[in-house]
Structure 1
């Protein structure tokens, strides 16, 4: 429902309110995996096997992950790859989660950007985006989908609920 409005606003070129729950980006980022290594000099951590990244209601699952941190240990980027890698986030308490999948999920933690590359799909409340890549701003609530020769951009909008449809006779004036 909220996602449908954002999809429509996106098509009209109007900025929408933020999609993320306000506290998600203020939460710590936790990573679990079967195997991990960290290079203190470069600030790069490599994870493999059954990876789960959690930050508030944000959840990313993947087969492999590369995390880059700054000198203070703050996560800068996380690049998750899988067949597919998946993403889930509760965007508003009253709606179901936004669910996405792609071959690669890039999370730019400081900027609040997510990029889904390779057979990217994003769904919520019956609405969906699909394309070669999808970019998603957690702060601005903007979504951009790009296609290629194999994966054209597709948007699906669910019909309005029956109870909100207006039944009029031909010739009646608009409300």
Structure 2
């Protein structure tokens, strides 16, 4: 189990008054992300497909852009057609996204660089300090630092007695 999952389990076991909802908005990251900042990628291996204009990074992939870090076993980078630059990133195989004090994990993350939007899916868990939320899907808007949790959202609300 990952650190975030263990943290969330401990949080759930120690808290009271569970609440579930279908969708909710939360803040994500300490600051707004500069989506025009360079994207740095490190990995164990790289395969480039000249015909499709895509690159596949595998093995301990870490992507950095400003204060944001995304890690995954595999990331497909799709370059813009006719323009220099990255159109989108598709991270799979268990993804961790960290921005400031917030961290999220899920099975997949799709990052549309031009729009500044990351969509995480597959058992998403968001940890913010002592709070944790889980959902089927999380959409992060990097331009304004917000996230929307959707699909069987669950969190624990602390009462004043704890």
- Distance (Å, rounded) in 2 between the aligned partners of 1:119 and 1:14: 16
CA shift at 1:107, angstroms? 1.1
Larger Rg: 1
Q: Which runs of 5+ in 1 are unaligned?
A: 1-10, 91-96, 163-175
Number of residue pairs matched by the alignment? 140
- Distance (Å, rounded) in 1 between the aligned partners of 2:107 and 2:115: 22
For residue 154 of structure 1, what is the aligned residue in structure 2? Answer: 154
Identify the structure with bigger relative contact order (alpha carbons < 8 Å, sequence gap 6+). Answer: 2
- Cα distance change of structure 1 residues 50 and 18 upon mapping to structure 2, 3 Å threshold: closer
For residue 7 of structure 1, what is the aligned residue in structure 2? Answer: none
Please give the per-residue CA displacement for 1:12-62, whole angstroms capped at 9, x wherever unaligned. Answer: x99888856346323210111111112234221111111011111111110
CA contact (8 A) 1:19 1:139 kept: no
Equivalent in 128, 133, 143 of residue 129 of structure 1 = 133
Query: Would you say 1:78 and 2:82 are equivalent positions?
Result: no
1:18-167 paired onto structure 2 within 5 Å: 19=29, 21-22=31-32, 24-70=34-80, 71-82=82-93, 84-90=94-100, 97-147=101-151, 152-158=152-158
User: Following TM superposition, where does structure 1 have runs of at least 4 consecutive aligned residues deviating by more than 4 angstroms?
Assistant: 13-20, 157-160
CA contact (8 A) 1:135 1:144 kept: yes
For residue 169 of structure 1, what is the aligned residue in structure 2? Answer: none
Q: Which runs of 5+ in 2 are unaligned?
A: 1-20
- Distance (Å, rounded) in 1 between the aligned partners of 2:92 and 2:37: 23
CA shift at 1:72, angstroms? 2.8
For residue 26 of structure 1, give the secondary structure of its aligned residue in structure 2: coil
Q: How high is the TM-score relative to the length of structure 2?
A: 0.73
CA RMSD of superposed structures (Å): 2.8
Higher strand share: 2
Q: How high is the TM-score relative to the length of structure 1?
A: 0.68
